[in-house]
Structures are given as structure tokens and as C-alpha cells.
Amino acid sequence: MSGGPTILHADLDAFYASVEQLLDPALRGRPVAVGGSARGGVVLAASYEAKAHGVQGGMPGWRAARLCPRLVFVRGHFDRYQGLADQVMAILGDATPTVQRVSIDEAFLDVSGTTHLLGPPATIATRIRQRVRAEVGLPISVGAARTKHLAKIASQVAKPDGLVVVEPAREREFLDPLPVGLMWGVGPVTREQLAGRGIHTIGELAQTETRTLERLLGYAAGTTLHALAHNEDPRRVTSGVRARSVGAQSALGRRRATPELVRATLGHLAERVAGRLRAKGRAGRTVTVRVRYAGMRSVTRYHTLAAPVDATLTLTEVAERLVWQAIDDECGIPAGRRGEGEERRAAAEISLLAISVSNLVAQHAVQLELPLPPPDPWRPGSVTGSARWAVDRSMDEVRARFGRDAVGYLPAALERTGGVPDDFRELAEHD
């Protein structure tokens, strides 16, 4: 049934940068960076001409400019990316109903059910690439193989703008000479650990004993990598996986942790997170905050509530307590003497705050109004719960009609600190 190379991995090449080159012909053939500038910020995506100079997504703009002096920085048309990517996904959907979209610009397809209608996988893949180029105007690479892992590696090898089909009889021959870094789950740390054992290629990895890998990388990573190196990949192409957490973060540069800054930032983040939870009809019991200090070291603090939250104000309050716990720990203020260390607290310098909600459950439209004691941030769901819920609902409605900035708990309190545009945040949500 799945003996042939019927799993396809389709991946748009340097997606954001390719869109910019599509929209502005003057950028074609030139090194382009979306986001950042030569003075600062971060590069979100680089064209292949820029990648040739070593420029990568996530890289500070000043470094990218140093690597590639002729680099063109563009701000990005974030409002266009989603629509163009959706057009591509619609073309993929014509090849098979079994499409698993894994990000805005990338998807797995299982074409085993449609080869009798559309021809062999290589023909289907070629047709997809032609249509995406002709109808959308973007380059896309496709890998075809017997498993998801092989198909993904094949599309990486095919880039840019190529097609690689791995015939089952030639899997070992294809895989053995490739660097381990191409494998799913091997990042910089794991690659270095493997290199320390003289393991650089997938072939060398395949010849290493499972127990050696388990000792080196831990049980899960060890067994998974061993199986993948031996072409054992049981994962199927599935659609519709529910999110397990919802979060948001905000980089702050380097700022003193004043009560005003912390409250304004957390209010903004809680509004985003709680609003998205309500839009999904979900709520969560575990609230996580992350505090990153100047110098990039970061800590997390969690709290699991008795009842799930999706109210903006409640989430803000819980997050605020957790953030001050973390900062007090950082400043060495003992638990019993919180509030006495204002000067020491204020000396803390933070560079990022984040809120995430997990342990998600379906939230019923009507919350029970329980006759409980006064509001306690650690115990949401009390009398204040339904009042807050009503306020949030009406704010959601105003935003839906007049835009995200139309109303908020803390509208102007947070001056922008050169972060990424909100359009980009919405893209990254990929709901």
C-alpha cells in the first residue's frame, strides 16, 4: 500500500523573501532580508542570494549587513503572506485530501490514494511545482519518499526550486552521506554531541548502537534518532491537531523592571493570549511566565490553578505575581520579605517577558457564577469571574468590528520598543 514514494513534503523556498521579490521585480536576483536593518533588529527571512553570503533568519541585522554589504532590507508585506500561502495550500489540496500543514509555508501530503488518478508521485510533484510557479508566482521545492522523515530531507536537498524523489531501493544510498544536521530533531547541541563521538553523517549514525545513543542523548532522543537513521518512521500524514498551549512574548531591549513596565507589558500580552483562547473557545489551568534578564539568561515560573482561565484581567494578575516571584528570587529577596526590597527589585534589568497558558480544556460559553469569597488571583472563577468574562466578550466584539487597537485595558501605556509588527505576530499564530 505504501511501498512507493507516496509521501510528499512541499516547502516554499525562502517564503517571505520570495514574496517580496515577487511583489517588487527590482528585488529579483538581489540579496534581500525581510525585517531588521543594518543598525539593529532581527532578520526574519533571507533570500537565496543573501543566504549565499551566510545571512540567515533570526540573525541580528547588523551582522547580516556585515556579512553581505549589498543586502537590501525590506520591512515586509505581512498582510500578503497568509493569502499567498493559502493559495499554495489550495493547489496542494487538489493533489490529495490528505494534507498536513505544518507551518505557513510547508506541508506533508499522502498521495497513495490518488496515484491511480493523477499518475506516479513524481508526476504529481512536478505538476504541483508547475502550478505554484504559474498561478502564484513562487518557487517551491518538493521531496517524495516512503516516509515523512525521508520526504522532508529530500525537499531540503532539493532546495532551491527543485524536486527529489527517493526510490525505496535507493534510500540507504541517498541517506548515508548526508550530514546528521538534516535529520529531524538534530539541532546545534545534538550535532556537537554526535561530532564529539566522531558521528557526522546519517550513515555513521545508523551504524551506532542504540544504547550508545541513549547514553549520549537520553532515552527518547536516542531511540528516535536510531529509528530514523534506519528509516523506521511510523508517523502518518494527519490533519487537525489541537494546540496544547497558547502564548505570547515581547522583547523589551534592556529595561529596568519597574512596576509600570511589568504591568503594562503583561497586560498587553495577557490581552493577546486570553483573546486568542476565547476565540478558540478554550481556557487553561497552567499559567507560565518567562523572564529574560539582560544577558539573555532566562527563567520560567509556573502555577497551576484550580480552575481554567481565559479572562484577560485574571491572567494579568496571575502572571504579575509569577513575574515578581522570579525577579525577587533573582534579586535574592527572601519569600517572607517581599515588598521590602523595592530598590533591589528596580535594579533588575529585563529584556523579555512572556506569558503562556497550557493544560487547555474546552471552555463552555456560559461560566457558572459561584458564590465564593472575595477575588483571589490564585483562585479565579469566583464572583468576579463572570463579570470579567462579560467585559472581555464585549471588548472582543468591539475589536472584531473596529480592529485590535480599538479598545484595551492598557491602550497607550506601552510605547513600542522597536519590536516586530503586529501583522507578523498574527502570522506566527498560525491557527
Residue 228 C-alpha cell reads as: 530514523
Residue number with CB closer to DNA (106 or 233): 106
Residue number with CB closer to DNA (54 or 58): 58
Alpha carbons 124 and 119: distance in angstroms, whole number: 6
Amino acid present at 46: A
Annotated binding residue 105: yes
By CB under 7 A, tell whether 249 contacts DNA: yes
Annotated binding residue 329: no
* Shortest CB 291 distance to DNA, Å: 9
Task: Report how many residues bind DNA under the rule CB under 7 A.
Answer: 65
Residue number with CB closer to DNA (114 or 322): 322
By CB under 7 A, tell whether 143 contacts DNA: no
By CB under 7 A, tell whether 160 contacts DNA: no
- Quick note: the x/- pattern for DNA over 340-379, rule CB under 7 A, is -----------xx-x-x-xx--------------------
Residue number with CB closer to DNA (283 or 420): 420
Pick from 30, 62, 176, 307: which binds DNA (CB under 7 A)?
62
By CB under 7 A, tell whether 60 contacts DNA: yes
Pick from 219, 256, 334, 390: which binds DNA (CB under 7 A)?
219
Catalytic residues: 106
Residue number with CB closer to DNA (127 or 255): 255
Residues of this chain, 161-200, that bind DNA according to CB under 7 A: 183-191
By CB under 7 A, tell whether 115 contacts DNA: no
Pick from 29, 58, 160, 259: which binds DNA (CB under 7 A)?
58
Pick from 239, 258, 300, 394: which binds DNA (CB under 7 A)?
300
Picking from 310, 302, 226, 306, the residue whose alpha carbon sits closest to that of residue 271 is 310
Residue number with CB closer to DNA (143 or 385): 143
Residues of this chain, 401-430, that bind DNA according to CB under 7 A: 418-420, 424-425, 428-429
Pick from 148, 149, 268, 276: which binds DNA (CB under 7 A)?
276
For residue 7, the tally of other CB atoms under 10 A from its CB is 30
* Shortest CB 378 distance to DNA, Å: 10
* Shortest CB 337 distance to DNA, Å: 18
Alpha carbons 390 and 397: distance in angstroms, whole number: 11
Alpha carbons 206 and 176: distance in angstroms, whole number: 8
Pick from 53, 285, 321, 344: which binds DNA (CB under 7 A)?
285
Pick from 220, 372, 398, 406: which binds DNA (CB under 7 A)?
220
Pick from 118, 299, 307, 391: which binds DNA (CB under 7 A)?
299
What string of DSSP letters covers 342-367? Answer: HHHHHH-EEEEEEEEEEEEEEPPSS-
- Cβ burial of 387 (10 Å; 0-12, 13-18, 19+) is middle
Residue 188 C-alpha cell reads as: 546545534
Pick from 127, 303, 321, 379: which binds DNA (CB under 7 A)?
303
Residue number with CB closer to DNA (106 or 110): 106
Residues found near DNA in the complex (CB under 7 A):
39-42, 44, 57-58, 60, 62, 102-106, 152, 183-191, 218-221, 243-251, 253-254, 272, 276, 285-286, 295-296, 298-304, 351-352, 354, 356, 358-359, 418-420, 424-425, 428-429
Residues of the binding site for Mg(2+): 11, 105
Residues of the binding site: 11, 105
